[in-house]
Amino acid sequence: MAHHVQNYNLDQKFDFNSGIKKPILTVLVIGAVLLGIGIILAMTSGGHAEEGAEAGAHAFHWYERLFANIWINNVYFTGIAIVGVFFFAIQYAAQAGWSAPITRVMLSLGNWLPFAAILMIAGFFLMGHNLFHWWHAELFDPNSSEYDSIIDGKGSFFYWPMEKGTFPIFYVARMVIFFGFWIFFFNKFKKIAAAEDQLGGTSHWFKMRSWSAYFLVFFAVSSSIAAWDWVMSIDTHWFSTLFGWYVFSSWFVAALSAITLLTIFLRGQGYLEMVNENHIHDLGKFVFGFSIFWTYLWFSQFLLIYYANIPEESVYFVERLTSDVYGPFIFVNIGLNFVLPFLVLMTRDSKRHGVFLKLVCTLLIVGHWIDFILMVQPGTLGHNGGVGLMEVGSLLVFGSVVALVVLGGLAKGNLVPKNHPMLEESYNHHI
């Protein structure tokens, strides 16, 4: 290793002190208060609006909106967590050198996965019957007035090998398997990283590269199916062949934004002194590029459905664009997730300065949360959805709890992979 790199502290550990915890806990309390007020307002408003056909005609109850909020945030932050692990694995599979000092930042997002697994699985059992129209036995009974031949045709995807309309064992099994393997790979990466710190050498880097390749294959399949299961199946009649890619792109931009914000935050706290403007520039380019990638997928999906104008496909966008509740948020979605990052991050300098990236990345995390609201609420709440105190409160509660878990996990190990064979290449990274 070159002599000039010895000035860097490679044994640094993140100190998750009370000064950092206090503002996060403050946000948590504010979010809990807003959520509580939102729940009280929903309970006292006496809303019993009739739902649309897709969600099933029934009287609306306040707790359905709470259930939808919990599910939206569960899915959203689960995606950010697993994509953090995905981006970490990409660095090793691609033999990337520039990112060596910040790989532990990427991996730290995975600390949320065990909590996400508990919340997702428990949430499905407690709320699934209200969220998923296909979990109603009468839809599969030909003798029932509620019988739905389309949903009956899709029933095996949820219920096999059990009888349709009983218990969705195939659906639950997929969820358990996905989380089981995601957490397994995350812990495997942490174990290899810890061994590399202790023992050095290049064997652990090669082992990490191999395990990363295995993970990426599994992730490619599991993330798409998870998107079908957890989001697309809410609108049970509707489907899109690129929906898995679309959900992944939304998760990816949000996770890249979180990684960028966390890296800038750590630099501001005096850590990661070997990370310079060139590394930040690369993160900015990823955020900029994949914001355009998300827009490309959004527009591709919209244009094909709009042009073909097949009723069973176009209904998905019609019920969103023509709604007084969701229509305005379509344009907020495009503005925050495409127009803003495209215009602000277009120049080279804006991608090298933290003030621009902190603004854009924060708004992108909010923007893609709105994207998931638009994916989930119309099929679960009909015209009883929207963004109010309950939604904002639930986002702040989930976001602050995730931040506590991620930063707590980050503080348990070395912040820098001190024996990574490409660290010196990263020190000399220049673009």
pLDDT digits (tens, 9 = 90+) for 108-130: 999 999 999 999 999 999 999 99
User: Per-residue pLDDT averaged across 126-141, rounded?
Assistant: 91
pLDDT at residue 332, rounded to an integer: 95
Q: What is the pTM of this model?
A: 0.93
pLDDT of residue 52: 41
Both tokens of 156, joined, read 């095996």
Is-contact 280 357, C-beta < 8 A?
yes
Q: Residues 378-403: what's their mean pLDDT?
A: 94
Q: Does residue 4 sit within a domain? A: no
Residue 53 pLDDT exceeds 50: no
- 224's tokens: 């798409």
354 vs 230, higher pLDDT = 230
- Quick check: is 6 in a domain? no
**315 occurs within a structural domain:** yes
Q: Is the pLDDT of residue 6 over 70?
A: no
How many C-beta neighbours within 10 Å does residue 305 have? 18
pLDDT tier at 48, thresholds 50, 70, 90:
very low
Instruction: Decide if 174 is inside a domain.
Output: yes
Cα separation of 238 and 104, whole Å? 39
Q: Is 162 found in the same domain as 177?
A: no
Q: pLDDT per residue over 306-324, tens digit each?
A: 999 998 899 999 999 999 9
Q: Clarify whether residues 266 and 385 are in a common domain.
A: yes
Backbone phi and psi for residue 365, each to the nearest 5 degrees, phi listed first: -65, -40
Query: Is residue 13 assigned to a domain?
Result: no
CA distance 106 to 104: 5
Per the DSSP assignment, residues forming a β-bridge with 50 are: 59
- Whether residues 156 and 206 fall in one domain: no
- Confidence band for 30, pLDDT divided at 50, 70 and 90: very high
Are residues 272 and 261 both part of a single domain?
yes
Task: Supply the pLDDT for residue 8.
Answer: 81
**Within a domain: residue 182?**
yes
Which of 114, 149, 167 represents a domain boundary (last residue)? 167
Amino acid at 135: W
Confidence band, pLDDT 50/70/90 cuts, at residue 55: very low
Q: Does residue 259 sit in the same domain as residue 302?
A: yes
Range of 139's domain?
Answer: 135-167
Give 173-205 pLDDT, tens digit per residue: 999 999 999 999 999 999 999 999 888 889 999
Q: Based on the domain organization, do 62 and 180 belong to the same domain?
A: yes
Q: What percent of the chain has pLDDT over 70?
A: 96
What is the tally of structural domains in the chain? 2
> What per-residue confidence (pLDDT) applies to 3?
35
Residue 40 lies in a domain: yes
- Residue 49: band (very low, low, confident or very high) from pLDDT cuts 50, 70, 90: very low
How many other C-beta atoms are found inside a 10 Å radius of the C-beta of residue 56? Answer: 15
Mean pLDDT of the 24-33 span: 97
With bands split at pLDDT 50, 70 and 90, how would you rate the model's confidence at 426? Answer: confident
Average pLDDT over residues 356-365: 96
Whether 154 and 127 share a structural domain: no
Establish if 12 belongs to a structural domain: no
* 159 and 106 together in one domain: no
Indicate the residue among 111, 143, 167 that finishes a domain.
167
**For position 58, what pLDDT does the model report?**
59
Q: What is the pLDDT of residues 213-269, one digit of tens each?
A: 999 999 999 999 999 999 999 999 999 999 999 999 999 999 999 999 999 999 999
Q: Say if residue 304 is in the same domain as residue 195.
A: yes
Mean per-residue pLDDT of the chain? 91
Question: Are 215 and 231 in a shared domain?
Answer: yes
pLDDT-derived band at 364, boundaries 50, 70, 90: very high
Rounded Cα gap, residues 336 and 106, in angstroms:
23
80-92 burial, b at 16+ Cβ within 10 Å, e below that, comes to bbbbbbbbbbbbb
Q: In this structure, are residues 18 and 376 in contact, taking their beta carbons and an 8 Å threshold?
A: no
Q: Tell whether 61 and 143 lie within a shared domain.
A: no
DSSP sequence for 53-99 = TTT-S-B--HHHHHHHHHHHHHHHHHHHHHHHHHHHHHHHHTT-STT
Domain edge (last residue) among 123, 148, 167:
167
63 and 145 together in one domain: no
SS3 270: coil
Burial of residue 53 (CB within 10 Å: 0-12, 13-18, 19+) is exposed
